[in-house]
Amino acid sequence: MIEVKQGAAPLQGPLPGRNVPLTVRRILCVLPLLLVTVIAVRHRAVLAEGFALLPTARRPWLLTAAGVTCLTWVAAAFTRQGAVVERLPGRRLLATQFAAGAANHMLPTGLGASAVNLRFMTVCGLTPARSSAALALYLLAESVGRVGLLAALLVAFPDALRFGSLLPAGAFGPLLLAIGAVAVVAVGVLTAVRPLRRAVGSFLRTALGEARSVHALPSRALALWGGALAFPALQTTVLVLVGLAFGLSVPPAHMAVAYLAATVAVALVPTPGGLGSVETALVVALVAVGAAAAPATAVVLVFRVITVWLPLLPGALTLGALVRLKVI
């Protein structure tokens, strides 16, 4: 099932997917659909408003946005493959990214996709330690790609975003202090708790070893960092296309800055898939780059319909199918 690159350690051990009880597997197949129903009912007003706005936009831009959305799963698959030395089964990997996107909107930000991909890698034969290291490398690359792309756009367009409209006066200092305090507490806990320090040290050694192995293969390094840059770039392109569909009076580069700034800001908000927080941050960011509030709201609602709500049900069905087929 898996092709091992020359020089890589062979995958060993039984496939964990074979050991999941049948009853549990049946529950896991149905659970995604139940969660989708709950999410849809809780957000039915936003969902209805977003779908109602679809006919008012120019369709060619929306169809292009839907096509670019599909490419985001391809970019995610490339990044996941680039985080491990072994060649993962391509079709299953791509299907897993589609399913992980749905899972990500059912659990606090990042947990759903992480859980699905951890399961996929362990079923493929990677040890839990190596699967966790690959996940950490993926998250690091994706974060660096997103922040790096934002930084590059801010350098190219320094006047695109008015930060004063995003943060209350005097909020930047306390925010930095809070981040510093969290870092100090984390270091203190690691220093005081020896078992935790040993566990973290062991994980870091494994992660660094995996990172070195991956970067020793040019094809893996290119997949990792190319996908990490392509993923936020494609997401940004979707928002720009939706903005063009509604004739938003904001330059595309400024819309791109607004999207990246908003998604970086809400990354720390533990809401399922960023539901609610992403919409609010995106509207505020678009207004901060010069858009009027009403069209900005319409753009955000339709953007979320295309990227979240339309793929959610088929993604949940794919997730259930992957569980049933013992892919995850």
Alpha-carbon distance 138 to 227, whole Å? 10
Residue 284 lies in a domain: yes
pLDDT in tens, 140-152: 999 999 999 999 9
Residue 10 lies in a domain: no
Alpha-carbon distance 177 to 48, whole Å? 41
pLDDT at 11 over 90: no
pLDDT in tens, 182-208: 667 766 766 776 676 777 777 788 889
Widest distance between CA atoms in the chain? 60
Residue 4 lies in a domain: no
Query: Amino acid identity, residue 263?
Result: T
Residue 11 lies in a domain: no
Q: Give the closest residue to 258 by CA, choosing from 274, 277, 239.
A: 239
Range of the domain at 55: 16-324
Q: Give the closest residue to 328 by CA, choosing from 88, 109, 136, 107.
A: 88
Residue 6 lies in a domain: no
The count of C-alpha atoms lying within 13 angstroms of the C-alpha of 227, restricted to the half-sphere facing its C-beta, is: 26
HEC letters along the chain = CCECCCCCCCCCCCCHHHHCCHHHHHHHHHHHHHHHHHHHHHCHHHHHHHHHHHHHCCHHHHHHHHHHHHHHHHHHHHHHHHCCCCECCHHHHHHHHHHHHHHHCCCECCHHHHHHHHHHHHHCCCCHHHHHHHHHHHHHHHHHHHHHHHHHHHHHCCCCCCHHHCCCCCCHHHHHHHHHHHHHHHHHHHHHCHHHHHHHHHHHHHHHHHHHHHHCCHHHHHHHHHHHHHHHHHHHHHHHHHHHHCCCCCCHHHHHHHHHHHHHHHCCCCCECCCCHHHHHHHHHHHHCCCCHHHHHHHHHHHHHHHHHHHHHHHHHHHHHHHHCCCC
- Comparing 64-78, 88-102, 187-201, 297-311, which segment has the lowest mean pLDDT? 187-201
* Span 20-30, average pLDDT: 59
pLDDT at 96 over 70: yes
Residue 9 lies in a domain: no
Say how far residue 283 (Cα) sits from the centre of its chain: 20
Alpha-carbon distance 119 to 16, whole Å? 9
pLDDT at res. 108: 62
Q: Which residues contact 249 (CB under 8 A, 6 or more apart)?
A: 290, 291, 292, 295
Structural domains counted in the chain: 1
Q: Provide the percentage of residues in the chain whose pLDDT is more than 90.
A: 40
How confident is residue 316, by pLDDT bands cut at 50, 70 and 90? confident
How confident is residue 39, by pLDDT bands cut at 50, 70 and 90? low
Residue 234 lies in a domain: yes
Radius of gyration of the chain (CA): 21
Residue 3 lies in a domain: no
pLDDT at 16 over 80: no
